Amino acid sequence: MINFLKKVITARWFLVLIALAILFYFLQRDTSPGGQPLVGVSFSKFHSDELKLDWKKVYQSALTELGVKNFRLSAHWPMVEPTNGKYNFSELDYQIKEAQKNNATVILAVGRRLPGWPECHVPDWAGKLSQSEQQKNILQYIEATVNRYKGYDNIRYWQVENEPFLSFFSKETCGNLSEVFLKSEIDLVHRLDPTRKILVTDSGEFGTWVGAYKAGDIFGTSQYLYVWFKNMNLPFRYPIGPWFFRLKENLVKTFYGTKPIIAIEVSSEPWLLQPIIETPMDILLDRMGPNKFEEMIELSKNSGFDDIYYWGVEWWYWMRENGHPELWNIAKVLFAK
């Protein structure tokens, strides 16, 4: 009996060593691209409006003062189709044309779930529809949007939905994920514009990456370090670093093949439980001051991504307008490289 137990213990330690060796392999294996990644920002009229900013001034400042050459823009459904069957493309027309004039590329996100709380954005008229009717209208709005902009040379990728597999987040407004409907959205965009690849995204911290990685031609992840957990009522820093994202990247590439991986949403504005404009300045600077912004830049650069898009340009501008240009100045250096 004693000899049997010794054999069991030895076998378990052997399995532990095997597991550690595999983990070390995936941590050390370098699948990142050579050369410098492209850097860009997410820009949203929706978020500019939340900050009570002139969105055109913010956008032009990002283009000309910061010299941003890569944007992720969002075709929020309520903005594009405020009335059933009547489309408003004026804001997106301006953004995409101005980007083209300044030799800037655009990733254009379409779908119901797009960047910005409450995650799922539905026009008032569509909120009263059944799920099947709403989905039918979503496909119509996506088709109208893709057809309008697929002729622009500076459209780089289409993003379909935002973190659709993160179903537990904002479930009260988004409901459960329908992978069948997501596939129909992706198939529609592929059919309308077979010349461009489709980006599907997932959470960097909580997402498994598997569903989104398999669904799209390009995979995009968020990167957050500093958050606020409502139930704990305190700010929190995830105990992760570049190794965490390299490990996940190596795993999905090993098991599901190699494709580009973008850091599509690197958090560089404070995570809050109330609007930014209602938050005292000392709290804003504590949650995402210059030091933490620099930390996020280093995290994204050292994680081995093909491209990096930062989230918070509207807030950098708002801070500058409110007497704190430090973040804007850091961004100037970032995009000048």
Per-residue pLDDT tens for 153-178? 999 999 999 999 998 888 888 998 89
Q: What is the pLDDT of residue 171?
A: 84
Q: What is the pLDDT of residue 1?
A: 61
Residue type at 86 in one-letter notation: K
pTM: 0.90
Cα torsion 102, 79, 213, 229 to 10°: value is 110
Query: In which residue ranges of the chain is pLDDT below 70?
Result: 1-35, 231-233
C-alpha torsion sign, points 316, 319, 321, 324: negative
* Residue closest to 33 by CA, chosen among 218, 205, 202: 218
Alpha-carbon distance of 220 to 223, in angstroms, equals 10
Q: What is the pLDDT of residue 52?
A: 98
Any idea what DSSP says for residue 277? G
Q: What is the pLDDT of residue 173?
A: 86
Residues 252 and 208: beta-carbon distance below 8 Å:
no
Per-residue pLDDT tens for 77-133? 999 999 999 999 999 999 999 999 999 999 999 999 999 989 999 999 999 999 999
Q: What is the pLDDT of residue 77?
A: 98
Q: What is the pLDDT of residue 19?
A: 37
Per domain, the residue ranges of the chain are 31-336
Q: Does domain 31-336 have CATH number 3.20.20.150?
A: no
Q: What is the pLDDT of residue 94?
A: 98
Residues 176 and 195: beta-carbon distance below 8 Å:
no
